[in-house]
Amino acid sequence: MQPTIYDVAKKAGVSIATVSKVINKNGRIGKETRKKVLKIMEELNYQPSVLASALTGKRTETIGVLIPDLTNPFFAEITASMEERAHERGFSVVICSTNDSEEKEAKYISLLLRKKVDGCILASRFKQVGLIENMVKQGIPVALTSQDIPSLNLNTVSVDDYKGGYKATAYLGSLGHKKIAMIAEKNVRSSHERIKGYVDAMIEMGFSVDDTLIREVEPTVTGGKQATEELLSLKEPPTAIFAGNEILAIGVSRAARSFQLDIPNDFSVIGFDNTLLATICDPPLTTIAQPIEQIGKQIVDILISEINGELGNKQRIMLPPELVIRKSTKELSGGKRLDEG
Amino acid sequence: MQPTIYDVAKKAGVSIATVSKVINKNGRIGKETRKKVLKIMEELNYQPSVLASALTGKRTETIGVLIPDLTNPFFAEITASMEERAHERGFSVVICSTNDSEEKEAKYISLLLRKKVDGCILASRFKQVGLIENMVKQGIPVALTSQDIPSLNLNTVSVDDYKGGYKATAYLGSLGHKKIAMIAEKNVRSSHERIKGYVDAMIEMGFSVDDTLIREVEPTVTGGKQATEELLSLKEPPTAIFAGNEILAIGVSRAARSFQLDIPNDFSVIGFDNTLLATICDPPLTTIAQPIEQIGKQIVDILISEINGELGNKQRIMLPPELVIRKSTKELSGGKRLDEG
DNA sequence: AAGCACCTTGAAATCGTTTTCATGTATGTG
DNA sequence: CACATACATGAAAACGATTTCAAGGTGCTT
């Protein structure tokens, strides 16, 4: 087995208290003693047990991260960013994929409490507000990302979804599109904000907001594809679609292709997130970029600040989304479609 | 703070030993007492501390997973599968992204030891064999996936890379391609196996194996693109490329497009892995599929068996790859290119 | 030489569990 | 009724650290 503090103490001929002080650089320890202890620790390749140390009231140096689904590139990328930052700051990350199941949310929260994580990051789509309140009551720091729960006073870092929705729609409008549809993810707060941005932009540009042009679906390629097929089958189909994320946008592309529509010449699509997918699909997606890496780093930093008790007030940070123009959007030309002037 | 076993014991009017026995269902406890203790635990919402429990010799119920890069869909998908299975079996997962840095490998291994994880899964590309030997010596179970280190006697689950390479190449051959190139990831064992499979298939089909047709590059889109551009600039360029993974394959597509070659009509590409990317890029990739989900589940199961001491001999499992035909490969037609008969 | 302050060190309590072993009580037997 | 036998329970040690506080040693002052 691994050596313990007792092994070090014995071999160095000192007490475990002394060794502990050397490890933690506190208390006053003579130069000679310190040197000797350090040497022995080196020799034995001694690694203090985080368990024992945490039991006495210190950190576990672990944070829990709850995300809906790691196979979604958006969450994979944000998780990667959080993981990197956490390790830079001396914390490890326990990943829990909830798959949007409320049962799992509850199970994982309880698991993380039993493991005494120092704090938790809840990424988008967390459903049970009561569970969060519970953690907060127990005094464990919680931070939210990509979702804001206004009723709770929590540290939050997210992108400005409203503005993103607005920007996407306004951009399509600026290209001459008037009949613009939106396909959004179902039952997600951030999605609602994006829709609001879409609606406001439409109104501001003087276009009619037609409920049949707003679809809320499961966030899958098929979901996006089916919704698009329905939209394209309308009497007056849209000339552009704003997809609430890139998985959906890919579904849109698929559907357009099956309708023999060329993107971007016959039809425009804009996505949201700017993950690997946007660059990889064909044509590369014009999209509203979230500063994914920055979100991940910042949420970790804030959580750790709170863990350290350095934070006075809760922070709610909203980062600006950015339009990234690629090849899936184009000016509306009178082309294949008939449009009212 | 959270209630401890002492709180439960006091409120139930019993000793902590009794409570402990109720929790762990061992020892003999009277029916009445058990019921009372359970009720109190419920009332206080008591959750035993994994820390304290682990300190006495029990599990931490945690396994460490080292992967190179979470933003790579292959690793994201395999991690998701491992995470899911681990949780099903009562273990949490600590993710460590090494980014192929030897320094990080060492740092994370030491970190995981300090945290007393019950076992470790090392995914592909782990470089420092010495570190692994060290863990094994310390008695902590280690399992490898997507890489086999023959010199070490370890539990391993991976795909048969040789066979995959062979299949990919043979399939291209069966389509009439003779000048087939391969672009592989640099410095990775599994990559070497795929190359061997490629070489053997070429020889078996009676084609010349030309070293200039085999490229080893960084596993990035750019890496794949540049290599392809070089290959396409040869006097006698290949008519098909076998890409060692899908990121590379996407690079190949990009390069082909920039050479005005239509895939699959003018040029065929086959990938390896069968991640989300293969279905999402354009055209959808013909690829050699790894049973990613199965690999993830199986490696976790094996590791847990070893943790439980249920495993007699180490297991080396090699799963068969499968050809998935999509739209990026096609029979060689005399078309745009000149080919020797 | 005694008194004092200042360092350095270690003994012991603590954290929240598990586990062993002894003790106490109820039951059954002759 | 005395005694063996189960069974239920709890006291205490152990796990590997941290932390407090008392004690011992050193050198300085007077």
Contacts with B279 from chain A: Cβ below 8 Å: 221
Whether chain B has a CB inside 8 Å of the CB on A52: the answer is yes
The mean pLDDT value for A126-147 works out to 90
Whether chain B has a CB inside 8 Å of the CB on A55: the answer is yes
CA distance B38 to B33: 8
Where does the pLDDT of residue B138 fall: very low under 50, low under 70, confident under 90, or very high at 90 and above?
Answer: confident
Answer with the residue of higher pLDDT: B171 or A129: B171
The mean pLDDT value for B180-186 works out to 96
> Considering just the CA atoms, what is the radius of gyration of chain A in Å?
26
In B20-34, which positions are buried (b, 16+ CB within 10 angstroms) versus exposed (e)? Answer: bbbbeeeeebeeebe
A215: left (phi over 0), alpha (psi -120 to 50) or beta: beta
Q: What is the pLDDT of residue B1?
A: 78
Query: Are residues B231 and B237 in contact, defined by beta-carbon separation less than 8 angstroms?
Result: yes
CA distance B198 to B162: 8
pLDDT digits (tens, 9 = 90+) for A162-209: 999 999 999 999 999 999 999 999 988 889 999 999 999 999 999 989
pLDDT digits (tens, 9 = 90+) for B265-286: 999 999 999 999 999 888 899 9
Query: Are residues A116 and A54 in contact, defined by beta-carbon separation less than 8 angstroms?
Result: yes
The mean pLDDT value for B332-339 works out to 55
Contacts with B76 from chain A: Cβ below 8 Å: 70-71, 73, 76
Query: Are residues A174 and A168 in contact, defined by beta-carbon separation less than 8 angstroms?
Result: no
Q: What is the pLDDT of residue B75?
A: 96
Answer with the residue of higher pLDDT: A127 or A63: A63
Please say whether the dihedral angle defined by the alpha carbons of residues A294, A300, A302 and A308, taken in this order, is positive or negative: negative
Is residue A51 pLDDT above 70, yes or no? yes
Indicate yes or no: strand C within 7 A of the C-beta of A14: yes
Whether chain A has a CB inside 8 Å of the CB on B273: the answer is no
Burial class (CB in 10 A: 0-12, 13-18, 19+), A196: middle
Q: What percent of chain A has pLDDT over 70?
A: 98
Residue pairs between chains A and B whose CB atoms are closer than 8 Å: 133
SS (H, E, C) B100-129: CCHHHHHHHHHHHHHCCCCEEEEECCCCCH
Burial class (CB in 10 A: 0-12, 13-18, 19+), A321: buried
Is residue A124 pLDDT above 80, yes or no? no
Is residue B336 pLDDT above 60, yes or no? no
**pTM above the 0.85 mark?**
yes
Contacts with B277 from chain A: Cβ below 8 Å: 280
Measured CA distances, A213 to A172, A182, A245, A271 (Å)? 15, 6, 16, 16
SS3 B213: helix
Interface test with chain A among B42, B89, B257, B276, by most A beta carbons within 10 Å: B276
Is residue B335 pLDDT above 50, yes or no? no
CA distance A315 to A141: 13
Angle among Cα A233, A235, A238 to the nearest 5 degrees reads 70
pLDDT digits (tens, 9 = 90+) for A65-119: 999 999 999 999 999 999 999 999 999 999 999 998 999 999 999 999 999 999 9
**Beta-carbon-side half-sphere exposure of residue A199 (alpha carbons within 13 Å):** 12
| Residue in B177, B255, B175 with CA at minimum distance from that of residue B215 | B255
Where does the pLDDT of residue B333 fall: very low under 50, low under 70, confident under 90, or very high at 90 and above?
Answer: confident
Contacts with A95 from chain B: Cβ below 8 Å: 79, 83, 93-95
Residues in contact with B112: Cβ distance below 8 Å, sequence separation at least 6, in sequence order: B64, B94, B96, B120
Is residue B341 pLDDT above 70, yes or no? no
- Output the average pLDDT for chain A: 93
Judged by CB atoms closer than 8 Å, whether chains meet at A108 and B95 is answered as no
CA distance B272 to B166: 12
Helix, strand, coil % (nearest 5) of chain B? Answer: 45, 15, 40
List, edge to edge, every strand of the sheet that includes B119-123. A316-319, A155-159, A142-145, A119-123, A62-67, A92-97, B92-97, B62-67, B119-123, B142-145, B155-159, B316-319
Q: Distance of alpha carbon A108 from its chain centroid, rounded?
A: 18
| Residue in A239, A62, A194, A12 with CA at minimum distance from that of residue B93 | A62
CA distance A203 to A192: 16
Locate B130 and state its tokens.
């010495």
- Output the average pLDDT for chain B: 93
Give φ, ψ of A214 to 5 degrees.
-110, 120
Query: Are residues A115 and B62 in contact, defined by beta-carbon separation less than 8 angstroms?
Result: yes
Query: Are residues B335 and B266 in contact, defined by beta-carbon separation less than 8 angstroms?
Result: yes
| Residue in B312, A78, A162 with CA at minimum distance from that of residue A170 | A162
Is residue B233 pLDDT above 80, yes or no? yes
CA distance A236 to A238: 7
The mean pLDDT value for A280-299 works out to 95
In A125-159, which positions are buried (b, 16+ CB within 10 angstroms) versus exposed (e)? Answer: bbeeeebbebbeeeebbbbbbbbbeeeeebbbbbb
Interface test with chain B among A41, A44, A50, A262, by most B beta carbons within 10 Å: A50
Whether chain B has a CB inside 8 Å of the CB on A96: the answer is yes
What residues 75-94 of chain A have any CB closer than 8 A to a CB of chain B?
76-77, 79-80, 83-84, 87, 92-94
Query: Are residues B22 and B34 in contact, defined by beta-carbon separation less than 8 angstroms?
Result: yes
pLDDT digits (tens, 9 = 90+) for B11-29: 999 999 999 999 999 888 9
Where does the pLDDT of residue B127 fall: very low under 50, low under 70, confident under 90, or very high at 90 and above?
Answer: confident
Whether chain A has a CB inside 8 Å of the CB on B96: the answer is yes
Where does the pLDDT of residue A282 fall: very low under 50, low under 70, confident under 90, or very high at 90 and above?
Answer: confident
Range of lowest pLDDT (A19-33, B242-256, B315-329) = A19-33
Nearest nucleotide relative to A9: CA against C1': C10
Q: What is the pLDDT of residue B334?
A: 58
Q: What is the pLDDT of residue B150?
A: 81
| Residue in A314, A192, A335, A212 with CA at minimum distance from that of residue A268 | A335
> Angle of helix B16-24 relative to helix B31-44, nearest 10 degrees?
90
Q: What is the pLDDT of residue A72?
A: 92
Contacts with A297 from chain B: Cβ below 8 Å: none
Interface test with chain B among A280, A292, A293, by most B beta carbons within 10 Å: A280
Locate A52 and state its tokens.
């024992």
pLDDT digits (tens, 9 = 90+) for B35-70: 999 999 999 999 999 999 999 999 999 999 999 999
Residue the block writes with tokens 């990234």: A324
How many other CB atoms sit within 10 Å of the CB of residue A30? 9
Adjacent-strand bridge partners of B112:
none
Q: What is the pLDDT of residue B28?
A: 87
Q: What is the pLDDT of residue A334?
A: 58
Task: Give chain B residues 35-64 with Cβ within 7 A of strand C.
Answer: 46-49, 51-53, 55-58
